[in-house]
C-alpha cells in the first residue's frame, strides 16, 4: 500500500507525475502517461486533483501491465457517454 504523500517523502531522483484538474484535459493526461510508458519511464509517485485524481487512481490502482488498458477503457466510456447533454 502506498504511503501518504508529505513533503520530504520522495527521494532525490524519483519521478513524480502530477496531474491537474480540467475535465476533458484528463484525456491528454492518459496520452502523456502512455508516452512515458513507451519511453520506459514509470513514475515513482502519482498525484492529481479533480480529473487528474481519477487518472492517478486508475494508474496507481492497477497493475503496471493493466494501467494503460484501464485508462483507455475509462476514456472510451467518457467519449461514448459523457454523462451530460445540452437541453434541446
- The reply to whether 6 falls in a domain is no
- The reply to whether 12 falls in a domain is no
Structural domain total, the chain: 1
Over the chain, what HEC string results?
CCCCCCCCCCCCCCCEEEECCCCCHHHHHHHHHHHHHHCCCCCCEEEECCHHHHHHHHHHCCCHHHHHHHHHHHHHHHHHCCCCCCCC
The range of the structural domain enclosing residue 71 comes to 18-80
Question: 55 is written with which cell numbers?
Answer: 487518472
- The reply to whether 5 falls in a domain is no
- The reply to whether 34 falls in a domain is yes
pTM of structure: 0.77
Q: What is the pLDDT of residue 25?
A: 86
- Bridge partners (DSSP) listed for residue 45: 16
Percent of the chain past pLDDT 70, that is, above it, reads: 80
**Predicted confidence band at 81 (pLDDT cuts at 50, 70, 90)?**
confident
Q: Which of 15, 87, 11, 71 is nearest to 45 (CA)?
A: 15
Is pLDDT above 90 for 87? no
* pLDDT tens digits, one per residue of 22-45: 888 899 999 999 999 999 999 999
Amino acid at each position: 500500500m502506498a504511503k501518504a504523500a508529505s513533503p520530504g517523502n520522495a527521494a532525490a531522483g524519483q519521478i513524480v507525475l502530477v496531474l491537474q484538474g480540467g475535465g476533458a484535459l484528463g484525456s491528454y493526461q492518459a496520452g502523456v502517461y502512455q508516452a512515458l510508458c513507451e519511453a520506459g519511464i514509470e513514475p515513482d509517485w502519482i498525484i492529481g486533483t479533480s480529473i487528474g485524481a481519477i487518472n492517478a487512481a486508475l494508474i496507481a490502482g492497477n497493475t503496471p501491465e493493466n494501467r494503460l488498458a484501464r485508462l483507455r477503457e475509462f476514456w472510451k466510456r467518457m467519449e461514448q457517454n459523457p454523462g451530460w447533454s445540452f437541453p434541446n
